[in-house]
Homo-oligomer: A and B are copies of this chain.
């Protein structure tokens, strides 16, 4: 006889609860940050790209290639193309063909893009501090240590997944 009901709930290991807490965190951070970036007419992903380009600019580089942006942001090439398309449409970045390697395009901030970065940077630290205001400086340090350690492990795990898939 086929039972139409589910068997009793499996024992919930602590890792699963931790994982759900982590997913909750992701959702909450999205809800807090998305409207914040919206005020500047951009998205979180767009800000991440603008910030990477600003850093490159300050390091004296002419620009970044798309693949470098993708590596830093942990997103795949098609996602980079999409975000750059929209940033270029808003005239915040430009894609200049490279003479050295004609396959790639060097992406850099426009004057308008640099102005927006400046404007955003003025209040950015303050807003991020609000996000973590629920934790003491000590707790923030502990969290940082744990996340870094977890990220190291996840990087390894992600590489394994990548290989086994391809």
Partner of A7, one of B4, B111, B118: B118
Stoichiometry, as copies per complex, reads: 2
Q: How large is the interface on A (under 10, 10 to 19, 20 to 34, 35 or more residues)?
A: 35 or more
Assess whether A40 is interfacial by the CB under 8 Å rule.
no
Assess whether A107 is interfacial by the CB under 8 Å rule.
no
Chain A contact residues: over half helix, strand or loop, or mixed?
A: helix
From residue A164, how far is it (CB to closest CB) to chain B in Å?
8
Fill in one digit per residue for A120-139: 1 if any B CB lies within 8 Å of its CB, else 0: 01001100111111110101
Q: A24-B151, A118-B7 are in contact. Are A158 and B31 (CB under 8 A)?
A: yes
Please report which residues of chain A, range 2-42, place their CB below 8 angstroms from some CB of chain B when the two chains form the complex: 4-19, 21-29, 31-32, 35-36
Residues of A with Cβ closer than 8 Å to B? 4-19, 21-29, 31-32, 35-36, 48, 54-55, 57-58, 73-75, 109, 111, 114, 117-118, 121, 124-125, 128-135, 137, 139-144, 146-158, 161-162, 165
Q: Which 6 pairs from chain A and chain B are nearest by CB?
A: A134-B153, A27-B74, A28-B154, A31-B158, A21-B147, A143-B146
